[in-house]
Structure 1
Amino acid sequence: MSRDALKTLFHPFASGTVEAPSEGERILFLGAEAGFALPEGFAAELSAVQGFRPFYRQLQAQRINVTPDIEGEGYDGALVLCAKHKGENEDHIAEALVRVREGGLILVAGGKEDGIQPLRKRIEGFGLSVEHMPKYHGVAFWFARPAEIKALTAQLAKPATEVEGRFTTAPGMFSHDRIDAGSELLASRLPTDFAGDAADFGAGWGYLSVELATKSPRIERIDLYEAHYGALEAARANLLANCPKVAQRFFWHDLASEPVKDKYDLIIMNPPFHEGHAAEPSLGQAMIKTAASALRSGGRLMLVANRGLPYEPVLSENFKEFGETCRNARYKVLWAKK
């Protein structure tokens, strides 16, 4: 998401094309990101929603009122900042329709990479009176919340996804419609005799945690750390459904910048490595360093990564021993001992 999309979002107010909401009004901001300045005359109370922990913390630092999940209803209007996942964008518009009062403004913005033009045409296809304006390499469009929304939300809201009949996920989560092939490779190498305290770093919707708890039934406890709030809540439900007797804890956490207080005997991870469309290994490297500090002496790290990612040097710097367990055409499974 570029900062341009934020500027695009607020431009209709800044240019005077759309009347800025006044004092006493409440505006919901879905997909909120930090780095914006409210246009002159924008005096409404802004309630931001951001479930991605790093962005949430940036909004807090900007002193924006922000929650990880949507709260309340009867808003006077809503802003929707689009991201790259079509299903998530449509779901946010559906939420705005439900949470905003009849006649309230719903304003949506994004860049070409967010699919903003097809999204605008889709909303226009519902017969709504939609206005739009291009700016800063993106498009903003807006409409009034209609009186009848049931048919609209039925088409826009995205139901939960079932994966292999065992896991519940939702659009916007990593690999929400299938088990990730890298995670599957790591799962095939998880221990069957582990009996200590484990953590799953970047746990997503909980696949690897369920696999570890299933393969090693004598596990003492597993803690899941995840930056995506919705994915963590899905993981909570998936662990409860698949291995309810295992002691488990859940942490909404930015592993690249927030320290981990507990110590573990085993940490498993499939670290994210993309920033936009480019491979960016620094996040995985930061997570490996965090794992090293969170392991007890003799503790082990197991991770899966794309074959080309250079994680071996950071493993060498932070662990007594490390090596490669296996690889296939796309992925490698690495281990390290503290």
Structure 2
Amino acid sequence: MNDTPLPTLLFPFERGLIDPPGEDERVLFLGAPGAFHLPSDFAGNMTAVQGYRPDFLALQRTGISVFPEPEGEGYDLALVLLGRHRRENEQRLAEALKRTRPGARIVAACAKKDGGGSVRKRMGELVELEDHASKHHGVVFWLRRPDAIDAALAALEIGETVADGYTTAAGGFSDDGVDPGSALLVKCLPDNLSGRMADFAAGWGYLSVAAVSSFPAIKSIDLYEAHYASVEAARRNMAHKASQVPARFFWHDLLGEPVNERYDVILMNPPFHRSRAAEPDMGHSMIAAAAKALKPRGRLFLVANRQLPYEESLEKHFAAQGELRRDTVFKVLWARK
């Protein structure tokens, strides 16, 4: 989450194009990054919204009031950081309209590479914009929240999204349907899985639903996921499709927070992107976390892009490891404590 257009968002305040909030004004910051510095004359009372667990925890450590979902209404100013996901962007803009008072200013920014110009144009078709600017490889636009917002909300708001029969999460992993790597992992799982299972980086829960539906000897499953909306989608999917097995849901940063439970089996499709660049160290760290969370002789099954060098971490942390299948894109690996 370190690839944000924050400098673009702050540009109109720094240049005096927009007055900063005063001490008594309430500010809502949708998509607030984990580390940011506001201009010195920014005096408003801020509430941040951040559903990505590492950034949420970073904001919490600074003392900022932060929530994983928007709360409250009547804000005097809304700041909106937009990203690569159209559905998530439109949800944030809709929340900005709903949570501010009539006449409040809304300021939103998006990187040009993420379609900032298109976002500005789309918003301008729904409500009147005051102005916009291009700076720091991004586009920032601002407006006054109109009295009548029903038509804009109807155009922006997207309800629960279903893909391949599952509820997915805007802005989360594979929000357009079942990930092919996860589907391959399910096909490769042995038929003797049993005991307590965990799904690391569970997303909206496809692996968990498939596993508990296929292996009746699984007694319980815990889902760990850093993206809050994905956790909530997983909760719904498990309730609708696999309610026969006890499930717990952890909004959790596996790279920064310890796992206190111990498991017989862990499934994993580890992420390797925080921004656009591949970061295989995320997978290595997650493998180490899985090794700590497994019982003696517990087993890990994971899928990864075939070029990622996860075998070295499996060899380091496990007594035995190997490969179950490989195709032109993915490989499925196993390891035992």
Bin for the TM-score computed over the shorter chain: over 0.9
Q: State the match for 1:295 in structure 2.
A: 294
Is 2:193 the partner of 1:160? no
Cα separation, 2, equivalents of 1:324 and 1:193: 17
**1:3, distance to aligned residue in structure 2 (A):** 6.1
How is 1:13-92 mapped onto 2 (pairs within 5 angstroms)? 13-92=13-92
Separation in structure 1 between the aligned mates of residue 127 and residue 313 of structure 2, nearest angstrom: 55
**What is the CA–CA distance in structure 2 between the aligned matches of 1:185 and 1:277, rounded to whole Å?**
24
Whether 1:10 and 2:29 are equivalent positions in the alignment is no
Instruction: Give 2:275's aligned residue.
Output: 276
Other structure's SS at 1:213 match: helix
- The residue aligned with 2:117 is 117
The answer as to 2:105 corresponding to 1:105 is yes
Tell me, yes or no, if the aligned pair for 1:133 and 1:140 is still in contact at 8 Å: yes
Per-residue deviation, residues 43-90 of structure 1 (Å, max 9, x unmatched): 111100000011111212222211111111111121001111122111
Number of the residue aligned with 2:203: 204
Return the TM-score normalized by structure 1. 0.96
Deviation at 1:191, TM superposition (A): 3.7
How far apart, in 2, do the equivalents of 1:133 and 1:173 lie?
29
RMSD value, Cα: 1.4
Moved more, 156-165 or 302-311: 156-165
SS in 2 for 1:130: strand
Which residue number corresponds to residue 179 of structure 2? 180
CA distance in structure 1 between the partners assigned to 2:291 and 2:137 by the alignment: 42
Q: Give 5+ residue unaligned stretches, structure 1.
A: none
Please give the alpha-carbon distance, in whole angstroms, between the structure 1 residues aligned to 2:298 and 2:52. 29
Closer/same/farther in 2, CA of residues 256 and 4 from structure 1, 3 Å limit: closer
- How many angstroms apart in 2 are the aligned matches of 1:191 and 1:151? 52
CA contact (8 A) 2:302 2:332 kept: yes
Q: Which moved more, 1:34-43 or 1:139-148?
A: 34-43
- Supply the AA of the counterpart residue of 1:13: F
Find the aligned partners of 1:49 and 1:185 in 2 and give their Cα distance.
35
Counterpart secondary structure, 2:248: strand
Tell me if structure 1 keeps the 8 A contact 2:94–2:156. Answer: yes
- The offset of 1:127, in angstroms, is 4.8
* Equivalent residues of 1:173, 1:228 under 8 A apart: yes
Matches within 5 A, 1:240-255: 240-255=239-254
* Distance in 2, Cα, partners of 1:35 & 1:327: 39
Partners of 1:124 and 1:130 within 8 A in 2: no
CA shift for structure 1 position 169? 1.3
Query: Which amino acid counterpart does residue 159 of structure 1 have in structure 2?
Result: G
The code of the aligned residue for 1:66 comes to: V
Percent identity over the alignment is: 51
1:254-298: CA deviations, max 9, x gaps? 111111111100000000112433322110110000000000100
Residue ranges of structure 2 left out of the alignment (5+ in a row): none
Distance 1:303 1:127 in 2: 47
Q: CA separation in 1, counterparts of 2:331 and 2:157?
A: 37
TM-score by length of 2: 0.96
Cα distance between partner residues in 1 of 2:258 and 2:290: 10
Q: Distance in 2 between matches of 1:239 and 1:207?
A: 9
CA distance in 1, matches of 2:242, 2:136: 49
Name whichever of 202-211 and 213-222 sits farther off. Answer: 213-222
Give the match for residue 286 of structure 1: 285
How far apart in 1 are the matches of 2:197 and 2:3? 38
